[in-house]
Amino acid sequence: MKGFHERNDSLNCSSKASIDSSPTPGTGSEPGPNDSKFSKTSLWSNFFASAFSVFDTYSESSSSSACERKSSFSKTNGWTAAVKRVVSGGSMRRIHERVLGPSKIGISSSTSDIWLLGLCYKISQESSGDVDATSALAAFKQDFSSRILMTYRKGFDAIGETKITSDASWGCMLRSSQMLVAQALLFHRLGRSWRKPSQKPFDLAYIEILHQFGDSEASAFSIHNLVEAGKNYGLAAGSWVGPYAMCRSWESLARSKREEIDLECQLLPMAVYVVSGDEDGERGGAPVVCIEDASRHCFEFSRHQADWTPILLLVPLVLGLDKVNPRYIPSLQATFTFPQCLGILGGKPGASTYIVGIQEENVFYLDPHDVQPVVNLSTENLEADTSSYHCNIIRYIPLESLDPSLAIGFFCRDKDDFDDFCFRASKLADESNGAPLFTVAQTHSVFKPINHGDTMANAGGDRMDDSVRVLPTGDVDGNSHEDDWQFL
């Protein structure tokens, strides 16, 4: 982790040559051209996110006559149909490529190590030899293509009382979050070493996981159920939502499913802990992983039967105003070295992606912006076609190009794994030069709102765990940097 912070001093934005890989049919398409007129990406993304979100919505005034409704429909139907054709075709990919900014396909010419969700691939021929480097690169590609991909779908049952049957143009944040949670389930049930088999039949656990993310109310973690669970946080079919609301929606959905099903049959067999700062993030500042809270979440999840259970940590962050503050970039890079890493929900406003790996200043991501027909898998069919849930096309963009509003995920299998996470997170905060992504505390009593020049005091007199370090959000000179944070 220290190496990331040392290398930050020499970070630059120079682009590297790309080694293109041939796209495979079905899961990807050609990237859009690099056009300078789309440099104002946030403007474009907000336009498309707000404009496209209304095309599938259905509203009707109780006082309108049938004649008026027919007239209104005839005026808008042609434009709506035209936009739907754009959204459902390759043009949607080109639009979102421009919103996200220039991206590249394949692996850059760099020979630096690649980190993918906690695993390191050494592709340098100098350090590992030609054969080992080639083998490491092939292993990375296999690992990447084994990650579960969730994309826009069309043709599913209408969401709730709406007439919306596709999430194209508005559901990318929901799809990105589905990918992150799906990886957590893969790690829990099949282990980090699992790779998608080349031969059928598939593992039952693998098919069951995909089934849970089907596009119907019958699937526990469908877009339908996510929208319903997130109503209190602003989720609505046809509207875009940010990372913080998305994390809270998953917390709500997990709670509702836990109450419906016996403990032994939990579909999400882990506690969900959304990490936030003082007073639930109302004051801004670095979120705090409270060990006491994590323990309570596990205890409640087990219905008071166990002191600890597997736990999913979701950490929503806002690391700047218009772009990620460079002070946070080394810490973001280092999170991919954590064995507990589940990646990042991030991208641009209105164009979310699931970021799974990093090489120097470039991040590798899975892109949900392809529109595919709905697929609802049966758990009884172990030879089902699951190709639409994976992607062989490796895309990357500069880390610094991400929008500052994002969320990081971590999965801790047991108490030892959580303790290891806390140790790594505390060490990362120590090396952050006063700009930690988040901090770690034993109890609530040890973190209080930080004012300019204040020092951290243990007001309650509780003794902290020796392995845990709590840092104020200011730098070593006592200067606060909360201006870089937006209230969550």
Catalytic residues: 172, 367, 369
Whether the CB-CB separation of 370 and 353 falls below 8 Å is answered with: no
Helix (H) or strand (E) holding 353: strand 351-359
How far apart, in whole angstroms, are the C-alpha atoms of residue 333 and residue 347? 15
Give residue 420's Cα distance to chain centre.
22
**Amino acid occupying residue 76:** T
3-class DSSP state for residue 408? strand
- Cα distances from 71 to residues 58, 80, 181, 301, in angstroms, run 15, 15, 44, 53
Residues 6+ apart with CB under 8 A from 35: 98
288-290 and 439-441 strand pairing: parallel
How far apart, in whole angstroms, are the C-alpha atoms of residue 371 and residue 87? 8
Whether the CB-CB separation of 35 and 358 falls below 8 Å is answered with: no
Whether the CB-CB separation of 141 and 394 falls below 8 Å is answered with: yes
**Crossing angle of helices 172-190 and 243-260, rounded to 10°:** 50
Helix (H) or strand (E) holding 313: strand 311-318
How far apart, in whole angstroms, are the C-alpha atoms of residue 266 and residue 258? 6
List the structure tokens of 10: 């020499």
Whether the CB-CB separation of 23 and 395 falls below 8 Å is answered with: no
Residues 6+ apart with CB under 8 A from 193: none
Beta bridge partners of 318: 405
* E strands in 129-172: 152-154
288-290 and 114-116 strand pairing: unpaired
Residues 6+ apart with CB under 8 A from 204: 379, 382
Whether the CB-CB separation of 251 and 323 falls below 8 Å is answered with: no
Whether the CB-CB separation of 39 and 102 falls below 8 Å is answered with: no
List the structure tokens of 155: 């043709």
